[in-house]
Amino acid sequence: MKLFDVYPLYDVTPVSAKGIVVTDDKGQEYLDFYGGHAVISIGHAHPLYVKRLKDQLDRIGFYSNAVHNPLQVELATKLGQLSNCADYNLFLCNSGAEANENALKMASFQTGKSRVIAFNNSFHGRTSAAVATTDNEKINAPINKQQKVTFLPFNDITAFKNEIEKGDVCAVILESIQGVGGLDEPSTEFFKKVEKLCKENQVVLIADEVQSGFGRSGKFFAFQHHDINPDIITIAKGMGNGFPVGGVLIHESIKASYGQLGTTFGGNHLACVATLAVLEVLEKEGLVENAKELGNYFLEKAKEIPQVKRTKGKGLMLGLEFDFEVAALRKKLIYEQHLFTGGANDKHVLRILPALNITKTDMDLFFEKLKIALL
């Protein structure tokens, strides 16, 4: 059997990794400023993370959601404390798309409506309703296009008010900092008006924190830069530091009923332990604060690079915008400088998504490599 060929691959085969260094099958080391697409939050093979997972595997790795799993309760409590979102309830699932799928479903159950407002250049995943709210025609099949979704630009409150007041909208879904799109963010003023109009029109506001959450933006959640309270928050990526896990934080004003949501694998023992280990490391090592500080350091250093037209993003969810397309530069960085970076829908943007325990020395090395690649 061959693999279903959907991924254009870089010719690199990682076989081990530690901290922000990835080693390939030839013994070549790479500096990881991509984190496997914003997934590696506490560094590869963090000792506490490895120990917790190994210990748990020796005890019990999985049982279904038909019985008690105290690790889920421990996780919900800890997540509520660290994120300052104790007034939400947690539903655990397995990926970002699944988190958004469940969030949209809850919004539709709650309101009895079905149209969704999403934003231009958004990315919310590749499954049914999640992909329909993703602004990319190419990855939406006819079956996905049955969903009713209206895409609007950020910061146009008149257009937004016009749509939401039509009365058939169940949810507004947005990324506080766009990931795949290329690091665009709405203004605080827009956020606040969106929150108010959602309340006035009984529409569920969903913050997609799949990429920007778990401290990456320099606050636990990126929407917290704007002092708003979404009804539902979705999480995945950095949450498990590579272990597949996702979650939906549902405000306690939205009530659950048996069978409304469900999953076989979601919230299994290993997923809970992986996420608990991430939370413990974030707290013990002050990594949300580190993301903020190191993000600022990075933005200062970026000023020394004349080819950088604009910097984008917050914390360690960053973008460098050039006045040329960056695909060739990314290749040069990987193959000649042995440095992983990310791309975006905006082809002029180089995305920077390192682990949150990165150091200034790592960043200095990044800029040395970037300068050489730009010569």
Q: Which residues bind ligand PLP (CB under 6 A)?
A: 37, 95-97, 100, 123-125, 175, 179-180, 208, 210-211, 236
Single-letter residue type at 238: G
CB atoms within 10 A of CB 314: 22
Taking the least distance from each CB to ligand PLP, the nearer of 32 and 208 is 208
CB environment 252-263: b (16+ within 10 A), e (fewer): eeeeeeeeebeb
Token pair recorded at residue 156: 């146009």
CB 349, min distance to ligand PLP, A: 14
Taking the least distance from each CB to ligand PLP, the nearer of 100 and 290 is 100
Single-letter residue type at 339: L
Taking the least distance from each CB to ligand PLP, the nearer of 225 and 369 is 225
Taking the least distance from each CB to ligand PLP, the nearer of 72 and 95 is 95
- Closest residue to ligand PLP using C-beta atoms: 96
Taking the least distance from each CB to ligand PLP, the nearer of 270 and 370 is 270
CB 173, min distance to ligand PLP, A: 9
Question: Strands, E, within 6-140: which ranges?
Answer: 14-18, 21-24, 29-32, 88-93, 115-119
CB 26, min distance to ligand PLP, A: 29
Residue closest to 363 by CA, chosen among 285, 296, 286: 296
CB 179, min distance to ligand PLP, A: 4
Taking the least distance from each CB to ligand PLP, the nearer of 216 and 332 is 216
CB 66, min distance to ligand PLP, A: 25
Length of the chain (residues): 375
Residue closest to 208 by CA, chosen among 271, 319, 117: 117
Asked if residues 342 and 312 have their Cβ atoms less than 8 Å apart, the reply is: no
Q: Burial, 66: exposed, middle or buried (Cβ in 10 Å; 0-12, 13-18, 19+)?
A: exposed
Checking DSSP bridges between strand 21-24 and strand 204-208, what pairing results, if any? Answer: unpaired
Asked if residues 351 and 253 have their Cβ atoms less than 8 Å apart, the reply is: no
Note the helical H segments in 304-359: 327-335
Taking the least distance from each CB to ligand PLP, the nearer of 97 and 320 is 97
Radius of gyration of the chain (CA): 20
CB 175, min distance to ligand PLP, A: 5
CB 39, min distance to ligand PLP, A: 9
CB 280, min distance to ligand PLP, A: 22
Taking the least distance from each CB to ligand PLP, the nearer of 319 and 369 is 319
Asked if residues 132 and 97 have their Cβ atoms less than 8 Å apart, the reply is: no
**CA-to-CA distance for 52 and 270, rounded, in angstroms?**
9
